[in-house]
Amino acid sequence: MDFAAFLQPQIKTYIDQLSAHDDPVLAEMEAVAAERNFPIIGPVVGRFLYQTTLIRKATRVFELGSGYGYSTLWFAKAVQRLGGGEVFHTDGDRKNSEQARNYLSRAGVVDLVRFRVGEAIEALHQTPGLFDLIYMDIDKHQYPDAFPVIREKLPAGGVLIVDNMLWFGRVVDKNDTSASTEGIRRFTRALWADPEFFTTLVPLRDGFIISVRM
Ligand SMILES: C[S@@+](CC[C@H](N)C(=O)[O-])C[C@H]1O[C@@H](n2cnc3c(N)ncnc32)[C@H](O)[C@@H]1O
């Protein structure tokens, strides 16, 4: 099962066309992702990150798992439009962090971005203060371990967005008991069981959740 099963091809094309943009840095990053087969969220979900940041008026954003900064750029563009703030970029790979700094600098938003190289959950734990919005896209087996730290750092009214919640259909494949699939399942159960979080799963791309802390 893969994500082609979530949307009919014509519907996917229709949504893709509606998500077109004219940002040259985003376009370059999309081309690099296609060339290297690097799993960025893409423009459909990118728009959602941008829009949610504006709706929430989120000026303090923390990303767990930022890669070379594509999702970071969508957040940073929104924070810039809100008049300024901070977006935390985290990645375990220093090369990704350096590439992100270059792209974000060329896009004119690097002053808003704080870079942390290392383990993202630990970086969230170590960073002082609370966040308006937390976004998670790290290795999937780590999702359950991240949840208690996210709870520490997200106040009432805070928004949580998490990518890959359908895991290309694997979450409903009973034969798949891999650590990554089980990680997503355990995290999903914990989130839905938590009375302080109200969550919706959106089946775009690979499925993501948006949750609000009550
Ligand atoms: C799916 S990619 C992120 C893509 C990015 N969110 C985007 O859409 O542009 C996941 C990234 O998280 C990093 N990563 C995975 N687990 C991590 C962890 N526990 N701590 C820090 N970085 C992690 C990987 O190095 C990889 O670059």
pLDDT digits (tens, 9 = 90+) for 143-183: 999 999 999 999 999 999 999 999 999 999 999 999 999 99
Q: Please state whether the predicted TM-score (pTM) of the whole model is above 0.95.
A: yes
pLDDT tens readout for residues 35-64: 999 999 999 999 999 999 999 999 999 999
- What is the pLDDT at residue 3? 52
Instruction: Count CA atoms within 13 Å of residue 197 on its CB side.
Output: 22
**Cα 75 from Cα 119, distance rounded (Å):** 20
Cα 10 to ligand 1 centroid, rounded to whole Å: 30
- How many residues does this entry show for the chain? 214
The side-by-side arrangement of strands in the sheet containing 86-91 is 113-117, 86-91, 60-64, 133-136, 159-162, 208-213, 197-202
Looking at residue 119, its pLDDT comes to: 98
AA identity, residue 92: G
- Is residue 194 scored above 80 in pLDDT? yes
CA 94–ligand 1 middle distance (angstroms): 11
Instruction: Give the per-residue pLDDT at 33.
Output: 98
Q: Whose CA is nearest to atom 27 of ligand 1?
A: 67
Distance CA 117, CA 8 (A): 39
